[in-house]
């Protein structure tokens, strides 16, 4: 049986998660050239880590016959926003105020092209959740119309 509210909650959690991802991506792009941060040194790219949420009452395996049992699925949540540990880029610019003795500046480890790909992916995931919510609403409206007798 379809649990309408659970379906809507799963989609809503996906919308919230993707919105947070979009915000982090925007921050990464905005700081792609920031050589001084509050943590000291250049801005460090951040990434959102998600995890699935299941009913706490379910204490057994969530897989049966190699299939995920979605009846216990509650949605997705943000597990963490982690700093990317990859090294900073070195750019030769002796006139830059943050250049070292050899004339190199440590630049953020942000690749704008990668961020744009992640942005498109997050946007499409967001749109997919909106589509799922709209489909659920249409299903409910159709069921209500049948209940009214026409």
Q: Which helix (H) or strand (E) holds 124?
A: helix 112-148
pLDDT for position 105 = 97
Is-contact 144 44, C-beta < 8 A? no
Tell whether 122 is covered by a domain.
yes
CATH of the domain at 71: 1.10.287
Instruction: Give the domain range for residue 61.
Output: 4-32+46-83+110-148
Tell whether 133 is covered by a domain.
yes
Tell whether 130 is covered by a domain.
yes
Tell whether 90 is covered by a domain.
no
Is-contact 105 35, C-beta < 8 A? yes
Tens-place pLDDT, residues 24-36: 999 999 999 999 9
pLDDT for position 140 = 86
Tell whether 10 is covered by a domain.
yes
Residue closest to 25 by CA, chosen among 96, 120, 94? 120
Tell whether 28 is covered by a domain.
yes
pTM of the shown model:
0.80
Tell whether 71 is covered by a domain.
yes
pLDDT for position 133 = 93
Low-confidence residues of the chain: pLDDT under 50: 1, 58-59
Is-contact 26 63, C-beta < 8 A? no
**Number of structural domains, the chain?**
1
Tell whether 76 is covered by a domain.
yes
Alpha carbon distance, N-terminus to C-terminus of the chain = 23
pLDDT for position 82 = 97
């Amino acid at each position: 049986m379809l649990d309408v509210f659970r379906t809507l909650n799963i989609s809503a959690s996906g919308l919230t998660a993707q919105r947070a991802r979009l915000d982090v991506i925007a921050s990464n792009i905005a700081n792609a050239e920031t050589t001084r941060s509050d943590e000291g040194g250049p801005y460090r790219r951040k990434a959102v880590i998600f995890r699935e949420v299941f009913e706490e009452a379910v204490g057994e395996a969530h897989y049966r016959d190699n299939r995920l049992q979605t009846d216990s699925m509650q949605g997705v949540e943000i597990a963490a926003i982690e700093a990317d540990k990859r090294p900073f880029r070195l750019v030769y610019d002796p006139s830059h105020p943050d250049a070292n003795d050899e004339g190199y500046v440590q630049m953020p480890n942000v690749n704008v092209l990668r961020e744009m790909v992640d942005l498109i992916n997050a946007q499409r995931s967001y749109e997919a959740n909106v589509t799922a919510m709209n489909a659920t609403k249409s299903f409910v409206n159709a069921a209500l119309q049948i209940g009214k007798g026409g």
